[in-house]
Amino acid sequence: MKIVGLTGGIGSGKSTMLKWFKKQGVPCFESDKVGRKMLNYNLKEQVIKRFGTEIYDIKGCLNRKKLSEIVFNNPNSLADLNAIVHPAVDSAFKDFKIKNQDATFIINEVAILFEYGGYKECDIIILVTASKELRLKRVMQRDNSNRETVISRMKNQWTDKIKIELSDYVIVNESIKDSLSHLKIVYNELI
């Protein structure tokens, strides 16, 4: 079984590519989704200890906007959050890998695959890219956020130029139709 890392900067469209792989029946691990779930359950005590009780609302749910404001404006806080989340998500991925060991390949979708070193555990890496302006537009619409907030998040990710050098496949996602056509070629090569 091969481990295929699927990554891309915020707003690149990696989630769209992931949905396509799921439709093909490929086992897909969504690191961000798993991490968000863990922040509301398994990791809650650690997050409160580091960031305080006000990071959760009255119902006990993580206030992601408040946490984002803290970590994307303070590199030390971001490093602390990553030190809490990544080991737990890595452990969950190992369980996922064991459960799907009979598959030809599995997808590990991680937004910051390169930044935290997870790419070293992958056999193949697919990078999804898009122009900065298109990514900004997508994220502002999706998250109902402003340009400055999105740019502050982008600054915490490596540039596409660096990521391209470390990737096996690059999907330029300016048009969904063209991107999915390219993804089908990659998929056929993988199987």
The confidence score (pLDDT) of residue 146 equals 86
The residues near 97 (Cβ < 8 Å, ≥ 6 apart) are 1, 3, 29, 106
> Per-residue pLDDT averaged across 41-58, rounded?
93
- What length is written for the chain? 191
Give the domain CATH number at 50: 3.40.50.300
Per-residue pLDDT tens digits for 149-173: 888 888 878 889 999 999 999 999 9
pLDDT band of 137, cuts 50, 70, 90: very high
Amino acid at 150: V
Which pLDDT value is given to residue 151? Answer: 87
Calculate the alpha carbon distances from 94 to 97, 114, 181 in Å: 5, 18, 31
**Are both 185 and 127 inside the same structural domain?**
yes
Q: Are residues 19 and 112 in the same domain?
A: yes
Specify whether 47 is located in the same domain as 132: no
Print the domain residue range for 48. 31-99
Give yes or no: residues 126 and 60 share one domain: no
Per-residue pLDDT, 172: 95
Q: Are residues 139 and 108 in the same domain?
A: yes
Residues 116 and 87 in one domain: no
* Last-in-domain residue among 40, 65, 99: 99
Domain finish residue from 39, 66, 99: 99
Edge-first strand listing for the sheet containing 2-8: 28-30, 105-109, 2-8, 124-129, 169-172
Answer yes or no: do 118 and 142 share one domain. Answer: yes
Structural contact between residues 146 and 154, judged by C-beta atoms closer than 8 angstroms: no
Last residue of one domain, picked from the residues 99, 117, 135 = 99
- pLDDT above 80 (res 117): yes
17 and 53 co-located in one domain? no
What are the helix (H) ranges across the chain? Answer: 14-23, 31-40, 44-51, 64-71, 75-99, 132-143, 147-154, 160-166, 176-190
Contact 72, 78 (CB under 8 A): yes
What phi, psi does 138 have (nearest 5°)? -60, -45
Answer yes or no: do 149 and 81 share one domain: no
139 and 76 assigned to the same domain: no
**Which helix (H) or strand (E) element contains residue 114?**
none
